[in-house]
Amino acid sequence: MEKAVKQVIQQGRVPVKIWTDDVDSGAMEQLINMSKLPEGIVHQWIAVMPDVHWGMGATIGSVIPTIDAIVPAAVGVDIGCGMMAVETNLSSQDLPDSLREIRHSIERDIPLGAGGAHRNVPVDKFPWLDEALRSMSLTFSNLKGIGDKAKSKRWAQQMGTLGSGNHFIEICLDKEDRVWFMLHSGSRGIGNMIGMHFIAQAKKEMEKQGARLPDKNLSYFTKDSAKFAEYVNAIAWAQDYASENRKAMMASIVKNVKHAIPKLETRGENINCHHNYVSVERHYDKEVYVTRKGAIRARKGEMGIIPGSMGTRSYIVRGKGNPESFESCSHGAGRTMSRTAARKRFSEKDLAASMERIEYNHRKSIIDEIPSAYKDIDQVMAAQTDLVDIVHELRQVVSIKGD
């Protein structure tokens, strides 16, 4: 297997292995701080993917294996955020000359934006909700400060909704002109609520213990903490919610496109993968909690999705199971500038030029998602040839973003 690690930083208790030379100073500081966590917390090293950039709480693009401990801020607040992709039997020739009405139809059916929610959500519309109602009550009933809010209808109304920021829905074509549907979303408001609650609880717990950390955002729960089991149960629930949320939206996309193109059928196995989550795995003869913050699992033969920015290529990949990356790869292109900086630098005209021949909603509010605000996806892919093989290359013909 070819060697692709570009940098090994050794300024803490464990090394930081990085699959790129392109690391901003803020992200590098975060990574070094993470490597300074107390002895015995991080297993072996921290693996850093080529889409790495500074993130709230912890570095995006990092893979952190921990022993009997989890850092809630490393997981973040969009718990279970990830991708889903479905191949169809359609080709580009089956699509209408104008894709605007298909875009409008999807946008009418799937609420967009940070507060997006269905007005009325019958339980039978999303089968997973019925069981979730019961599990939610058990999972959150004893969580002080979150239980009552979690029992509200709001989280149920957000099942099957997109969210904001870089969350998106796309209709794509592969190199053989076959049509794919792809989307990016997570656990919506309830995941945010869970994340914020436990990040605050971890900080309180560290303060009580008098722990001296390089960054308070790296506060953690150890397995002997009463909060540890609560957090593990809550994030498992949120990760399931995120996965089901993507399935619900994909079903809506298929329904709306099938209405316009009745011959539509999906084929092959759907790909549904998290890239902000925790998983119990075995690496280097040790069972550990692997936190992937902006990274996907890439076990040998495992299928995954690495999207570029809106207006650029995306990739369906097959994992190589590289042990050095803890069987992980990048989750996308990775930002090169903040949203604020992108809004100051670029205009709606710039966005339109980069989205030529793609059907999208021309809105000023999505300028910060312009492709120029992201790394070159081809360079990101070239940096991880030892982590994944490319199976399909996709290009967008429809792009739908939340505000």
pLDDT one-digit tens code per residue, 89-112: 999 999 999 999 999 999 999 999
pTM of the model: 0.94
Is 314 marked as a binding-site residue? yes
Question: Per residue in 31-65, pLDDT tens?
Answer: 999 999 999 999 999 999 999 999 988 999 999 99
User: Would the annotation count 294 as a binding residue?
Assistant: no
Please count the CA atoms within 13 angstroms of the CA of 76 that sit on its side-chain side: 28
The letter for the amino acid at 78 is: D
Q: Is 275 annotated as a binding residue?
A: yes
Residues in the chain predicted with pLDDT less than 70, given as ranges, are 1-3, 122-124, 130, 133-152
197 is in an annotated binding site: no
Report the pLDDT value the prediction gives residue 60, as an integer from 0 to 100: 96
- The sign of the torsion formed by the CA atoms of 384, 269, 296, 308 equals positive
331 in active site: yes
Give which of 391, 402, 403 is closest to 85, Cα–Cα.
Answer: 391
- Among 53, 118, 331, 392, the one annotated catalytic: 331
pLDDT at 2: 55
CATH domain 7-401 topology: tRNA-splicing ligase RtcB (3.90.1860)
Give residue 1's pLDDT. 46
Residue 306: its pLDDT value, please?
A: 98
214 is in an annotated binding site: no
The residue type of 12 is G
Going by C-beta distance under 8 Å and a sequence separation of 6 or more, which residues neighbour residue 135?
237
